[in-house]
């Protein structure tokens, strides 16, 4: 379950940033997780409770899920994508993934 290592990395980032800001506590960590990032959101939520410690011990994890989106260079169609490799529903050309692979910390709220 790689969600545990992701949760630990997010907690590390939160602690490091709190320390750099001179804050004693992390209140909220907001992250973005793309639908194509290969992350089970519910597993990540579960792992977060075990991973948070130190200044981030009571931090809430807010997850913003980013839907997959692709663009067909052949016919210029932009459409939703639910898999890493997708064909255009209009012309069956290969889609270029525009978003949905994100996995990043968006913001931290610290005191």
**Domains located in the chain, CATH noted:** 3-67+100-110 (3.30.2320.50)
Q: Write out pLDDT tens, residues 25-83.
A: 999 999 999 999 999 999 999 999 999 999 999 999 999 999 999 999 999 999 999 99
pLDDT of residue 73: 97
Q: Are 11 and 55 in contact (CB under 8 A)?
A: no
Residue 111 to residue 99: CA distance in whole angstroms: 32
CA distances from 10 to 24, 26, 58, 60, 92 (A): 17, 12, 14, 12, 38
The token pair that represents 86 in the structure block: 């997708």
For the chain, the C-alpha Rg in angstroms (whole number) is: 17
Provide the 10 A C-beta neighbour count for residue 87.
14
pLDDT of residue 84: 87
């Amino acid at each position: 379950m790689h969600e545990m290592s992701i949760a630990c990395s997010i907690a590390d980032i939160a602690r490091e940033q709190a320390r750099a800001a001179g804050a004693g506590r992390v209140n909220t960590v907001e992250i973005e997780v793309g639908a194509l990032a290969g992350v089970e959101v519910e597993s990540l939520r579960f792992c977060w409770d075990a991973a948070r410690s130190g200044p981030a011990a009571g931090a809430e994890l807010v997850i913003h899920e980013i839907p997959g989106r692709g663009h067909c260079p052949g016919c210029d169609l932009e459409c939703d994508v639910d898999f890493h490799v997708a064909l255009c529903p209009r012309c069956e050309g290969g889609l270029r993934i525009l978003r949905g692979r994100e996995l990043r910390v968006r913001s931290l709220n610290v005191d």
